[in-house]
Amino acid sequence: MWALIIDLRSDTVTRPTSVMRQAMAVAEVGDDVYGEDPTVRQLEQRAADLTGQEAGLFVPSGTMGNLVAAMTHLHPGDELFAEAEAHILYYEQGGCARVAGAMPHPISGTAGRFSGDDLRRQVRPADLHFPHPGLVALENTHNRSGGEVWTVAETADVLAVAKELGLATHLDGARLFNAATALGVPAAQLAAGFDSVSICLSKGLGAPVGSVLAGSRDFIARARRNRKVVGGGMRQAGILAAAGLAALTDAVAGLAEDHRHAARLAEGLSRLPGLQVAAVRQRTNMVMVDVAAPAGLWVRQLKEADVLINAVGPNRLRLVTHLDVSGPDVERTLGVFAQLAPEAAQWS
């Protein structure tokens, strides 16, 4: 039965490909805490090169990557600026406050973005009554906004103001390669100018686990200590790193197809009664759909038809395409929605 299920809840549900499994089986390994795992070292440098940074650090998750970045950039009590619904503030249990001691400073944005002037207005003058402004974090693509993309120019605008104000900068690039694919630019161009960058291997790229935090050699040396203190030091992690290397080698090119599948979903769903597809400037691999009936009812009805999605608000659905979603899966999903849409007006 499970082979027939279409899982559009997230791109985190991907399963490792046969190429990844083979790479994991033959990976050369060592003790990574001692710096002796050659496959981990290869992955870290590959990720650093792709993001235009000097060095990288393999971590178990994107959440840990963001947390370690905050711990490395900030002192307890420093302010962390981010868009109000950015992942680092919205989905990480307040870890930057709980563990790094950072004071979150949300910035109200538009579709996950804000300008350099918005940042300047939020940074208070030096005064012993105020926390020290320490770090600004951007998320590209922006999850809560349906995979919206920050352009190179928009990013550069914020980075220029951050530099002017003496703030460190971090890019939560969990889906950075989706942004790069959508814009047709190298990931390194979107990451240029940041003091640190995190990329996720286990979302659209399909690896079973892991992210890489990248930055200068000095930053990564300090980050390695912080990874250890939060329990992120792994041993023979080359088995996992091998899948990440395969993902960076083979899976990036497949993201364009994921985007085409999401565009087809958006187009098909927009034609159905009672559904309003949220507009985006640049479609990546997410589709947000506003519905009149409670989103939870839609989730349950779709599950009965073997289509899994998430509710991300009382009346908002999210569908995410990935390498395990095919063209026929998209068409079958649209068919299920078409069957349910006329009935949804009667749900309560």
- Three-state SS string over 328-340 comes to HHHHHHHHHHHHH
Strands of 33-88 (E only): list them. Answer: 55-59, 79-83
User: What ranges do the domains of the chain cover?
Assistant: 2-12+254-344, 16-250
The closest alpha carbon to 136, from 182, 88, 204, belongs to 88
Question: pLDDT value at position 130?
Answer: 96
Question: pLDDT value at position 348?
Answer: 59
Question: Is omega for the bond preceding 169 within 30 degrees of 0, making it cis?
Answer: no
- Bridge partners, residue 200, by sequence: 211
Residue 14, token pair as written in the block: 């991907």
The closest alpha carbon to 240, from 214, 211, 220, belongs to 211
Report, as ranges of residue numbers, the positions in the chain whose pLDDT lies below 70.
1-3, 348
Question: pLDDT value at position 8?
Answer: 98
Question: pLDDT value at position 1?
Answer: 38
Within 8 A by CB and 6+ apart from 27, the residues are 39, 238, 239, 241, 242
Reported pTM: 0.96
Q: Beta strand pairing status for 286-291 and 275-277?
A: antiparallel
Question: pLDDT value at position 343?
Answer: 87
What DSSP string describes 133-164?
Answer: EEEEEEESSBGGGTSB---HHHHHHHHHHHHH
Residue 34, token pair as written in the block: 């001692």
CATH of the domain spanning 16-250: 3.40.640.10
3.40.50.920, 3.90.1150.10, 3.30.70.100, 3.40.710.10: which CATH number matches 2-12+254-344? 3.90.1150.10
